[in-house]
Structure 1
Amino acid sequence: MNIDQYKISKKINLAQTTTFKEIEDAKEKLKQVRRKISELQDTMYAHGKYNMLICLQGMDTSGKDSLVREVFKDVNARGVVVHSFKAPTSAELKHDFLWRHYVALPMRGKICVFNRTHYENVLVTRVHPEYILGENIPSVTGLDDLDDAFYHKRMERIVNFEEHIAESGTIILKFFLHLSKDEQKRRLLRRLRKKNKNWKFSKDDLNERKSWDAYQECYEDAINRTSNDFAPWYIVPADDKATSRLIVAESILQSLKKYKDMVEPTLDEETLSHLDEFERQLKND
């Protein structure tokens, strides 16, 4: 699969970017890819010098939760951690906006998924700027202070944050699950109709849907300003869930394969020279 077709290396226009792609036998292909991811994560864990941060963003119903479940199904439980960031707590609001994300970063050897990410701070808060007032920032006295320059400066801080952790060994991949408005409507209706799904529905989903165009503008601006070599964005067509899962999984696999220095450690010479002896001791125990 040519993953580079989804990787953002130049400015994009979301309205002109497809939300639908269907890959034949995507479910079966995913099974193969996720097993390989599991093997490479085991190596990364043993190697102990790298970790990986997967950032998932998308409109409501874009399939983030189920993607996490399906892509990482075969990864050792000790090797993957998932954080779903909701509205900041009162304690989190007493820190800078990146603090809660920094402390959630993975240890070396692990994969961490941010299901909704630090980008919520330049997406949701840009559509609903009143949320920023809860941060009690000294320079912000009212909504008039929350102009484009404020959010663009915040994006610069996000880029600096990502560059810093990348230099420390974090492999960063960011995915925008690009869903069409019509497909979102179908999925919301499905939530209402299916008893085992309607617990997911909230009237807030409909309120946020009214801001669809505003969100698309904010996503486009954020992606264009923050995609780079050390933390690239991928725009994943998300109208077909099986295909979007495979694209994300393949992107992860191909990224991990690039790290040729990531190998399992070997035993020291002294231990290697006594392996037969150790085996005899165990057999005679």
Structure 2
Amino acid sequence: MMKKFTINSYDKQFNLKEFKPDDTAELSKQDIKKEYDKLQEKFIELQEVFYASKKYGLLIILQGMDCSGKDGTVKKVLTGVSPNGFNVENFKAPTPEELGRDYLWRTHNKTPMKGDITVFNRSYYEDVLVTRVHKDIDDETAFSRFREINEFEKYLVNNNTIVLKFFLNISKEFQQRKLENRLESPEKNWKFSEADLKERKFWDKYQECYSDVLSNCSTKEAPWYVIPADHRWFRDYIVLKTIVKTIEELDLEYPLIEGNIQELIQELKKN
């Protein structure tokens, strides 16, 4: 089933219209409940050995339109995760210092150390999305950056950083319902920004730019996963399942303690 949502062909033109935001693979929330609970338990176990082994870093990239559920994915999928070795980085509009550097500088600085799991809530892909939509860069620059990003991710992978990239795919109708809910529910007013309405006007252009990202920046080293996100429970299930499967395949083990165990126990008893 995971192959259905994986883009693993480089330089093949994809269109987001080919992917259904409301897809659930003919499953119901009840169908996956037991497996989901087991996946959460497994992830907590795996994170501990991942942190202890210090062999790899894991970078999880979450991209999507406003209301696609990037914050919710972190909250729901990573429930129970140990704060040791876990970080979430949010990337907003760049500061003057960041604008004075190359566009990858501020994100490279936040990539995970070995043993750590870091989530990028938005990422360096903003520099080929929002910048392109608002014509801060031209198409030639964008496609040049696609190649640079591919090389950057290859560099990370070659240095034992695993890169998991999730595009949370929602429909325009779903986004409208979420924005209306933010306006109509006093406890959710704080989530609403007039900028959301402004960006919504560029929906079609964003879809076009995301399609180019998926077509040009999904590589063997760092493929994109297009996650149907109109149904939150299915979004969480597929993301969690992908993370668990990825860590399981690393065949990690706890590091051996230095010294003779029995001698250390006897020394401890003396004190």
Q: Structures share a fold, TM > 0.5? A: yes
For the Cα contact (< 8 Å) 1:42–1:79, is it kept in 2?
no
Over residues 56-95 of structure 1, what are the superposed CA-to-partner deviations in whole Å (9 max), with x where a residue is unaligned? 0000000110110111111111121000100000111111
1:9 — aligned with what?
8
- Among 48, 72, 94, the alignment partner of 2:100 is 94
Q: Does the residue aligned with 1:196 lie in a helix, a strand or coil?
A: helix
Cα RMSD, aligned residues only: 1.5
Which runs of 5 or more residues in structure 1 are unaligned? 131-145
Instruction: Name the residue aligned to 2:195.
Output: 204
> Which of 75, 79, 89 does residue 73 from structure 1 map onto?
79
Q: Does 1:195 align with 2:182?
A: no
Q: Is 1:263 aligned with 2:269? A: no
Matches of 1:223 and 1:16 in 2, distance apart?
12
Is this contact kept in 2: 1:30–1:71, CA < 8 A?
Answer: no
**In 2: Cα distance, 1:68 partner to 1:242 partner:** 13
Deviations 1:31-54 (A, max 9, x none): 321221121111111111101000
Aligned-pair identity in percent equals: 41
| Residues in 1 aligned to 2:40 and 2:75: alpha-carbon distance in whole angstroms | 11
**1:209-241 deviation per Cα after TM superposition (whole angstroms, max 9, x unaligned):** 110000000000011101011111000000001
**Offset at 1:271?**
2.2
Higher-Rg member (1/2): 1
Distance 2:146 2:39 in 1: 33
TM-score (norm 1): 0.89
Counterpart position of 1:51: 57
Q: Show structure 2 runs of 5+ residues with no match.
A: none
Q: Distance in 2 between matches of 1:206 and 1:60?
A: 10
Corresponding residue of 1:253: 244
TM-superposition CA deviations, 1:116-170 (whole Å, max 9, x none): 011000000000123xxxxxxxxxxxxxxx4322110011111111110110000
The answer as to whether partners of 1:56 and 1:113 remain within 8 angstroms in 2 is: yes
Count of residue pairs brought into register by the alignment: 264
Q: Distance in 2 between matches of 1:28 and 1:248?
A: 16
Are positions 1:215 and 2:206 aligned together?
yes
Distance in 2, matches of 1:64 and 1:205, equals: 15
Give the distance between the partners of 2:33 and 2:89, measured in 1 at CA.
Answer: 25
Q: Partners of 1:27 and 1:209 in 2: how far apart?
A: 34
